[in-house]
Amino acid sequence: MHAHVSPMLSNNRQSSTLSPFSGAYSTREYGRSGPLDEIVALGRARMVTEGTAIHRAGDAFRSVFYIKSGAAKRVLIQEDGREQILGFPMPGDIVAIEAISAGTHSTTVVALDICAIVEIPFEALEALAAERPDVARFLYQRMSAALREEHSWLAALGLFNADERLATFLLDLSQRFSARGFSAQRFMLRMTRAEIGSFLGLTLETVSRVFSRFQKLGLLNVTRREIELLDMDALYKLAHTRPTH
Amino acid sequence: MHAHVSPMLSNNRQSSTLSPFSGAYSTREYGRSGPLDEIVALGRARMVTEGTAIHRAGDAFRSVFYIKSGAAKRVLIQEDGREQILGFPMPGDIVAIEAISAGTHSTTVVALDICAIVEIPFEALEALAAERPDVARFLYQRMSAALREEHSWLAALGLFNADERLATFLLDLSQRFSARGFSAQRFMLRMTRAEIGSFLGLTLETVSRVFSRFQKLGLLNVTRREIELLDMDALYKLAHTRPTH
DNA sequence: CGCTGGTTTGACTTGGCTCAATCATCGTGG
DNA sequence: CCACGATGATTGAGCCAAGTCAAACCAGCG
C-alpha cells in the first residue's frame, strides 16, 4: 500500500543470514530513532507465547505495547462475536495507541508467534511527552501514521476486488519486511488463510484460490506459509501502486 | 441560515430554525472541553462555499481544520483516480489530523455545503500542547478516537452486507446529530447516494435500493435528502449494536 | 419550458460466498 | 516406529448479493 510510511527506516545494514523464516527475529536493526529508545526504556521486556493475548478489548487501558520481536494480530470483536482483523503488527510497531483516552481497550492483540513485548505505562509516557517535545511529536507521528494506514485499508476494502486486495496485502508485507532488513521477495506468512481473509474482508477459500491463481500466473510461489514473490511489477500493477523508493 | 433549510427539523431542542448542518452554532453545546476553545482560538474563522476543498491531498501540511458549521466529506484519492470517501465531518470535528507529521496532506476534504471553518496552524497547536498537558491530552484523545472510528468502519466493510452497512451509517449519523442537540430521528442527508455508496463500499444503485426496501419495511421514510428513522430498534438490530446513550 | 444532476427501478451478469470433499502436515500417544 | 486425530489448505459445484448497464423519472433552475 502506498501509504505505508514507516517512520523509521532503512539505515539498517542487516545481516542477510537472519531470515524471517527463522522464527523470532530481533529488531535492533529496525526502529532506531531517539525518542523510541527512551520510550521503550519506560517498560521492561517480557515474552509472550503464541496464542496469548497481549491485551484484550474491555481491559482497562493503562499501557501501550511495543513489539520487540515476533508477530501478532490486532482484532476488533463485534458484539455478535464476529471478528475483524485490523492488522498484523511487526517488530518496531506499537499497539493499543487507539485506546489512549478511552479508558478501556477496544481491540485485542494476540501473538501469532512467540513475542518479546515491552509494556509501556501510558502515564509514564505521557509524563515524558509533557517535558520532551520530541517525544510528543513522536507520538503524534505514530498516531497519524496509523490513521493514514487505516485509510489505505479502508479504501482497499471499499474499492478493490479479491485479487487487488491480496496483491496489496502481499506488497505491504513485503515492504515492511524489507524496511526491517529482510528480503522483500521471500518471507514467511505468520497468519492463516482465515486470518488473511478476515483482514481483507474475504473468506479463507477465496484467499486460497487467489494464491493458487497467482501461482499459476507466475506471480509468486507459495507453499503453506512460505511465500516468494516472483513478479513484483505485476503485483504492483494489481495493487494500483508504485514501489515506494 | 439558508432558504433551503427545511422547516422539518423543528423538533430539535435548540432554535427550531437551526438546521443541523447549516446553522453556525457555538462550540459550547458540543464538545465542550476547555482545551478545544483555546485550540480554536489559535485560528480565525472563514467561510467556504459548497464544493470547494478545505484542503487537498498533496498540499503541504501546515494546519488542521476545525469545522464550525456546515458539512463536508473526507476523500482519499487513489493513484488511478478512484475515490474512497472516508467520512463526513460534522461541526465540532477536526479534520486533517492524519496529516500531522506527514509533510503533506494525504486526504482531501470538500465542503458539501457552505461551511464555517477555522484553520489551526499546527505549529501553534504543537507549541500550545507543549506547555499545556491538557491540550496534549486533548490531541491524543481526538486522534485515538479517530482511530477507533476507522476501526469500526473497517469492520463494517469487512463483515457487513449492504443492509447492515446502511443501517450502521444511518444510526451513526443519528447519534452524531443527537450529540449535537438535533433530532435523532429526522435529519437531512447532505451527501448524494453516490457519496454514501463510496463511503460504504457500495454502488449508488444499491444504496437507493436498500433505502427503498427499508421504506417498504417501515424502517424509515426517505424522500430525496430528507430522512426520518421510524424503527430505531430494527435498525440497531441490523447494525448489530445497542443504542449508546 | 427544457436542461442537468441526482434518484429510482428493472433486467441481467458475475465475483465471491457457502457447502462439501479431499489432502497435507504435524504432534501425540500407543 | 506408525497410526491417528487435529488443524489448516486446496479445490469443486452451485448459488446469491451486489455490481453493471440501461431506461425513466423528478425537482430545481436558467
B83-141 pLDDT per residue, tens: 999 999 999 999 999 999 889 999 999 999 999 999 999 999 999 999 999 999 999 99
For B161, nearest residue in chain A (alpha carbons): A201
Backbone angles phi, psi at B176, to 5 degrees: -70, -35
Least confident of A235-239, B39-43, B240-244: B240-244
Only one residue has cell 417498504, namely B216
- Cα–Cα distance, A50 to A40 (Å, whole number): 22
SS3 B81: coil
Asked if residues A204 and A193 have their Cβ atoms less than 8 Å apart, the reply is: yes
Position A81 scores a pLDDT of: 85
User: Is residue A2 in some structural domain?
Assistant: no
Instruction: Give the pLDDT mean for B188-206.
Output: 97
Strands B220-223 and B226-229: antiparallel
- Cα–Cα distance, A19 to B47 (Å, whole number): 56
Q: How many angstroms is C1' of C23 away from CA of A230?
A: 26
Position B113 scores a pLDDT of: 93
In the numeric block, which cell numbers belong to residue A49?
A: 507465547
Asked if residues A167 and A239 have their Cβ atoms less than 8 Å apart, the reply is: yes
Residue nearest to nucleotide D21 (CA to C1'): B205
Position B80 scores a pLDDT of: 83
| Helix locations, B49-132, DSSP H | 122-131
User: Is residue A47 in some structural domain?
Assistant: yes
User: Is residue A79 in some structural domain?
Assistant: yes
Strands A186-188 and A108-111: unpaired
Protein-covered nucleotides on strand D (Cβ within 7 A):
8-13, 17-22, 27, 29
Domain CATH code at residue B179: 1.10.10.10
Least confident of A26-30, A47-51, A87-91, B197-201: A26-30
Quote the number of domains for chain B: 2
The candidate with the shortest Cα–Cα distance to B118, out of B37, B195, B232, is B37
Structure-model confidence comparison of residues A23 and B133, the more confident one: B133
Asked if residues B120 and B65 have their Cβ atoms less than 8 Å apart, the reply is: yes
Domain shared by A28 and A136, yes or no = yes
| Closest in B79, B100, B155 to A140, CB measured | B100
Q: Which nucleotide is nearest to A224 (CA to C1')?
A: D9
How far from chain centre, in Å, is Cα A145?
A: 12
Domain boundary among B146, B179, B197: B146
Protein-covered nucleotides on strand C (Cβ within 7 A):
6-11, 15-20, 25
Domain shared by A128 and A203, yes or no = no
Q: How many angstroms is C1' of C14 away from CA of A68?
A: 45
User: Is residue B1 in some structural domain?
Assistant: no
Asked if residues B72 and B109 have their Cβ atoms less than 8 Å apart, the reply is: yes
- Calculate Rg over the CA atoms of chain B: 18
One-letter identity of residue B196: I
User: Is residue A205 in some structural domain?
Assistant: yes
What are the chain B neighbours of A2 within 8 Å (beta carbons)?
79
Domain shared by A122 and A170, yes or no = no
- Give the distance from residue B133's alpha carbon to the nearest chain A alpha carbon, in angstroms: 6
Position B160 scores a pLDDT of: 97
Strand C neighbours (CB under 7 Å) are A 161-163, 201-203, 205-206, 224; B 192-194, 204-205, 207-209, 211-212, 222-225
User: Is residue B6 in some structural domain?
Assistant: no
- Other Cβ atoms closer than 10 A to B242: 9
Paired with B49 in beta bridges are none
Whether residue A24 is predicted with pLDDT greater than 80 in this model: the reply is no
Position B32 scores a pLDDT of: 52
Domain shared by B180 and B210, yes or no = yes
One-letter identity of residue A175: Q
Whether residue A7 is predicted with pLDDT greater than 60 in this model: the reply is no
- Pick among A61, A120, A140, A161 to test the B interface (most B CBs inside 10 A): A140
Whether residue A30 is predicted with pLDDT greater than 70 in this model: the reply is no
Domain shared by A101 and A168, yes or no = no
Domain shared by B138 and B21, yes or no = yes
A245's CB contacts (< 8 A; 6+ apart) are none
The candidate with the shortest Cα–Cα distance to A219, out of A242, A200, A238, is A238
Structure-model confidence comparison of residues A222 and B8, the more confident one: A222
Domain shared by B192 and B86, yes or no = no
Domain shared by B121 and B204, yes or no = no
- Cα–Cα distance, A134 to A35 (Å, whole number): 7
- Cα–Cα distance, B196 to A79 (Å, whole number): 24
Domain shared by A30 and A142, yes or no = yes
For chain A, the farthest-separated pair of C-alpha atoms sits apart, in whole angstroms, at 57
Q: Give the model confidence (pLDDT) of B129-163 as tens digits.
A: 999 999 999 999 999 999 999 999 999 999 999 99
CA distances from A129 to A64, B34, B81, B140, B152 (A): 14, 20, 39, 11, 28
Q: Give the model confidence (pLDDT) of A162-198 as tens digits.
A: 999 999 999 999 999 999 999 999 999 999 999 999 9
What are the chain B neighbours of A100 within 8 Å (beta carbons)?
140-141, 143-144
For B74, nearest residue in chain A (alpha carbons): A151
Position B20 scores a pLDDT of: 46
Domain shared by A27 and A54, yes or no = yes
| Closest in A79, A97, A158 to B144, CB measured | A97
In the numeric block, which cell numbers belong to residue A77?
A: 470483536
Domain that holds residue A195: 160-239
Asked if residues B194 and B204 have their Cβ atoms less than 8 Å apart, the reply is: yes
One-letter identity of residue A105: H
Domain boundary among A146, A176, A205: A146
Position A76 scores a pLDDT of: 97
The chain-wide mean pLDDT, for chain A, equals: 87
What are the chain A neighbours of B141 within 8 Å (beta carbons)?
100-101
The candidate with the shortest Cα–Cα distance to A149, out of A210, A82, A199, is A199
Q: How many angstroms is C1' of C23 away from CA of A114?
A: 29
User: Is residue A7 in some structural domain?
Assistant: no
Contact A159 B78 (CB under 8 A): yes
Q: Give the model confidence (pLDDT) of B164-175 as tens digits.
A: 999 999 999 999
Structure-model confidence comparison of residues A72 and A23, the more confident one: A72
Asked if residues B158 and A84 have their Cβ atoms less than 8 Å apart, the reply is: yes
Q: Tell me the pTM.
A: 0.86
Domain shared by A77 and A114, yes or no = yes
Domain shared by B96 and B119, yes or no = yes
Position A32 scores a pLDDT of: 52
One-letter identity of residue A18: L
Q: How many angstroms is C1' of D7 away from CA of A204?
A: 14
One-letter identity of residue A103: G
Contact B147 A148 (CB under 8 A): no
Whether residue A153 is predicted with pLDDT greater than 60 in this model: the reply is yes
User: Is residue B171 in some structural domain?
Assistant: yes
What are the chain A neighbours of B157 within 8 Å (beta carbons)?
154, 157-158, 201
Domain boundary among B146, B177, B199: B146
Domain CATH code at residue A137: 2.60.120.10
